[in-house]
Structure 1
Amino acid sequence: MWEARAVPGRGAELLAWAREQRLPAEPLRREFLRAPQDRVLVITWWDAEYDTELPELPEPDGELVMRAVHRWRFESVGE
Structure 2
Amino acid sequence: MSVALMWEARAEAGRGPELLDWARAQALEPPPVRRETFRAPQDRVLVITWWDAPYEAEVPELPAPPPELVSRPPHRWRFEPAD
Q: If the length of structure 1 is used for normalisation, what is the TM-score? A: 0.96
1:20 to 21, 25, 36: 25
Alignment pair present for 1:50 and 2:51? no
Match of 1:33 in 2: 38
Give the Cα separation in 2 of the matches to 1:51 and 1:67: 26
Structure 1 gap segments, 5+ residues each: none
Give the Cα separation in 2 of the matches to 1:22 and 1:60: 13
Alpha-carbon offset, residue 68 of structure 1: 0.5
2:10 to 5, 12, 27: 5
Give the Cα separation in 2 of the matches to 1:23 and 1:30: 10
Misfit runs of 4+, over 3 Å: none
Aligned-pair Cα RMSD in Å: 0.6
Structure 2 gap segments, 5+ residues each: 1-5
Bigger fraction of residues in strand: 2
Alpha-carbon offset, residue 23 of structure 1: 1.3
Q: If the length of structure 2 is used for normalisation, what is the TM-score? A: 0.91
Aligned residues: 78
Alpha-carbon offset, residue 36 of structure 1: 0.5
Match of 1:67 in 2: 72
